[in-house]
Amino acid sequence: MVGYIDFHRRSIEDREGFWRDQSRLVDWQQTPQTICDYSRPPFVKWFVGGTTNLCHNAVDRHAAARPRDPALIYVSTETDTERTYSYADLLCEVERMAAIFIELGVKRGDRVLIYMPMIPEACFAMLACARIGAVHSVVFGGFAPASLATRIDDARPVLMISADAGMRGGKAIPYKHLVDDACRLAEHPPAHVLIVDRGIDKGFARTEGRDVDYAEMRRKHVDAAVPVEWLESSEPSYILYTSGTTGKPKGVQRDTGGYCVALAASMQHLFTGGPGETMFVTSDIGWVVGHSYIIYAPLIAGMATVMYEGTPIRPDAGVWWRIVEKYRVNVMFSAPTAIRVLKKQDTAWLHSCDLSSLKHLFLAGEPLDETTHRWIAEELDIPVIDNYWQTETGWPILSAMPGIEKTPIKYGSPSFPVYGYDLRLFREDGSECGANEKGVVGIVPPLPPGCMTTVWGQDDRFVSTYFSLFKDPLVYSSSDWGIRDDDGYYTILGRMDDVINVAGHRLGTREIEEAVQTHPGVAEVAVVGVADDVKGQVPMAFAVLKDAGAAATPEEAKRLEAEISRKVDEWLGAIGRPARVFFVSGLPKTRSGKMLRRAIQALAEGRDPGDLATIEDPSTLQQIRDRLSETREG
């Protein structure tokens, strides 16, 4: 058996041969003519000339070979619903959804925006888009109308699909009014909105001529047969928006063939899941983990995938482990935040279940601390594999790869560079770091298959955002700090830009600052990410008011903080709400006007802010110290 080092070396030194081998894991209508076209750096095209279809690889080929095998297992502890769809069932549902899309005017290359809770129809919608060659853009259901509107205007979808409501923690979260508000705010609203009525929000309003009832359309197309559209490998499969430092989200554009091959290979070499097995990923489809490892990858591998609507501790802290036991889950994937939540619960919930089917637990989304890693590994008594990746890459950059070699796990480390990634650590001057030296995590291009191909509609932003920090040689910058020990194991140390990671969800501080500043009383604000034991980081805001005396008393400050939080909820959704808003008379800046966010963050985390020789007004930092001290003492 080839070991990790040789396997990785071949993926870098013989890209053509390596990825030609991996491409045989998927079905092609037409075989690729060129494996890697890197004639226009940093843009790369994989499997050029090959035609394939994600839906065919995820559904049709398995429905033909194993029609009765489970494909989608839906579990909702919010509505007490469990439903299993075989591969034959899934194919029928996807074809019905595809027929609906076609009737509503969706064509190859058109965009469909999916704003859905974690329900089976969201899966059908994604696969239906892939089936007919439409480009889906899934927006997390927690985003507020203004954020949804910006994504509508960027993607310009011809159709949106949503639901009357979602559920979270036993409470209904109405969606339809958010959709209506977003369509009013958008300059390019979709022609139609397809609504899945779950019967949760009884009184939602319908817009005549625009809104279409899914159940009615489904009855109309119950016997639909829609053939797959064979796409050239480089044609886009989806857009997924991720936060940036400019305040305007970036539409990460993914291809079709490269993504399909990357996911198929990852299921074999990293996640070790195959036909007849079951994978349970606890993420949401609005995030990249949900795209790759709830919907596409496990189905491409012929597995059953568990789609879960609920929290890790409702009705109790044993709910996930009962799912593992009932459905004989073989591969589980979650986030460090969720494990830290479960760590606070009685371990009897975990040990009361038969978890003998579980081969591995994978964790990703934010840095995994050594203590949490050790705890869950010892409680489960199986390998717990930390892996590091980004929305931009679509699949792991760093990970142990048990399908290649069972290397020892170091707690708190995502192990080694995954095959295909020529990963190195760089000093800020562009030179390479040695062992035990902090550096910027960079990837020497071409990026491997499955990674983003560009920013939707903005090739220049793709280059300026990801390839401008290091140009000799040209390097993809992750904007994360990392370090490598003497044994070659990597550790991710955190962001080097103004993007924070809240419970595995990336949020731009600029986005939150813009939301805070919609409050008419705020003159200026700085938002920083502050370390949190459960969520990894939480946003904290320091605001300067137009009326200096407006927050003169604790009661007035509390009222203003609540108002600002509501403004953020309206603009971004509760996911962006600051944990605290502190009111100060000024913010620390350099003499040239640059905000010293790193110094603010250090103070908020109780650390030394470092050398502040460039600060214009030292009293601003002292005031922040005082506000934080008052809170800690209170």
Collapse the DSSP code of 148 into the 3-class scheme (helix H, G, I; strand E, B; otherwise coil) and give the result: helix
Amino acid at 123: C
Which residues, in sequence order, are CB contacts of 71 under 8 Å at separation 6+?
Answer: 59, 62, 85, 86, 87, 89, 90, 299, 304, 305
Mean predicted confidence (pLDDT) in 382-394:
96
Of 43-57, 169-183, 508-522, give the lowest mean pLDDT range: 508-522
Task: Name all domains of the chain by residue range, CATH numbers in brackets.
Answer: 87-229 (3.40.50.980), 503-633 (3.30.300.30)
DSSP state of 305: E
Q: How many CB atoms lie within 10 A of CB 344?
A: 10
Which tokens sit at 173?
């979260």
Q: Cα-flanking dihedrals φ and ψ of residue 209, to 5°?
A: 85, -15
Of 263-277, 314-328, 527-541, give the lowest mean pLDDT range: 527-541
H or E stretch including 266? helix 257-269
Mean predicted confidence (pLDDT) in 559-587:
90
**Band of the pLDDT at 8, cuts 50, 70, 90?**
very high
Question: What does the pLDDT read at residue 621?
Answer: 84
DSSP letters of 505-539?
A: EEEEHHHHHHHHTTSTTEEEEEEEEEEETTTEEEE
Q: Answer yes or no: are the C-beta atoms of 532 and 581 closer than 8 Å.
A: no
Percent of the chain with pLDDT over 90: 71
Mean pLDDT of the chain: 92
DSSP letters of 457-498?
A: T-HHHHHHHHSSS-BTTB-EEEEEEEEE-TTS-EEEEEESSS
| Separation between Cα atoms, residue 451 and residue 300, nearest integer Å | 17
Angle at 248 between CA 582 and CA 187, to 5 degrees: 115
Mean predicted confidence (pLDDT) in 39-54:
98
Question: What does the pLDDT read at residue 552?
Answer: 75
Mean predicted confidence (pLDDT) in 146-156:
94
pTM (2 decimals)?
0.84
CA Rg, the chain, in Å? 24
Residue 229 reports pLDDT greater than 90: yes
Reduced to 3 DSSP states, what percent helix, strand and coil does the chain have, rounded to the nearest 5?
35, 25, 40
Mean predicted confidence (pLDDT) in 546-556:
81
Q: Answer yes or no: are the C-beta atoms of 7 and 409 closer than 8 Å.
A: no
More confident residue, 74 or 526: 74
Mean predicted confidence (pLDDT) in 295-307:
98
Question: What does the pLDDT read at residue 498?
Answer: 67
Strand positions, DSSP E, 364-488 = 384-386, 398-399, 416-417, 423-426, 439-443, 454-455, 476-484
Which tokens sit at 370?
């050594």
Residue 546 reports pLDDT greater than 90: no
**Band of the pLDDT at 612, cuts 50, 70, 90?**
low
Q: What is the pLDDT of residues 154-166, one digit of tens each?
A: 999 999 999 999 9
| Separation between Cα atoms, residue 561 and residue 522, nearest integer Å | 11
Mean predicted confidence (pLDDT) in 300-319:
96
Residue 175, CA distances (Å) to 139, 142, 146, 535 in order:
12, 9, 14, 25
Of residues 103, 157, 163, the one with CA closest to residue 135: 157
Q: Cα-flanking dihedrals φ and ψ of residue 347, to 5°?
A: -70, -10
Percent of the chain with pLDDT over 70: 96
Question: What does the pLDDT read at residue 269?
Answer: 98
Mean predicted confidence (pLDDT) in 142-160:
93
Mean predicted confidence (pLDDT) in 424-430:
91
Query: How many residues in the chain?
Result: 634
Of 39-48, 170-179, 505-514, give the lowest mean pLDDT range: 505-514
Which tokens sit at 336?
């460090």
Question: What does the pLDDT read at residue 425?
Answer: 96
**Band of the pLDDT at 585, cuts 50, 70, 90?**
confident
Question: What does the pLDDT read at residue 378?
Answer: 96
Of 88-102, 226-240, 468-482, 600-614, give the lowest mean pLDDT range: 600-614
Residue 189 reports pLDDT greater than 90: yes
**Band of the pLDDT at 246, cuts 50, 70, 90?**
low
Q: What is the pLDDT of residues 64-120, one digit of tens each?
A: 999 999 999 999 999 999 999 999 999 999 999 999 999 999 999 999 999 999 999
β-pairing verdict for 111-115 and 135-138:
parallel
Mean predicted confidence (pLDDT) in 237-244:
88
Residue 620 reports pLDDT greater than 80: yes
What b/e readout covers 479-504, taking b as 16+ CB neighbours within 10 angstroms?
Answer: bbbbbbeeeebbbbeebbebbbbbbb
**Band of the pLDDT at 611, cuts 50, 70, 90?**
low
Which residues, in sequence order, are CB contacts of 331 under 8 Å at separation 6+?
Answer: 271, 272, 273, 277, 278, 279, 280, 298, 303, 358, 359, 360, 362
**Band of the pLDDT at 337, cuts 50, 70, 90?**
confident
Furthest CA-CA distance within the chain: 72
Of 181-190, 523-532, 543-552, give the lowest mean pLDDT range: 543-552
Question: What does the pLDDT read at residue 244?
Answer: 62
CA 140 to chain CA centroid, nearest Å:
9
Of 281-295, 374-388, 558-572, give the lowest mean pLDDT range: 558-572
**Band of the pLDDT at 634, cuts 50, 70, 90?**
low
Angle at 218 between CA 217 and CA 224, to 5 degrees: 110
Residue 591 reports pLDDT greater than 90: no
The winner for highest mean pLDDT among 78-87, 332-341, 516-525 is 78-87
Q: How many CB atoms lie within 10 A of CB 247?
A: 16
Question: What does the pLDDT read at residue 587?
Answer: 85
Mean predicted confidence (pLDDT) in 14-40:
98
Question: What does the pLDDT read at residue 590?
Answer: 61
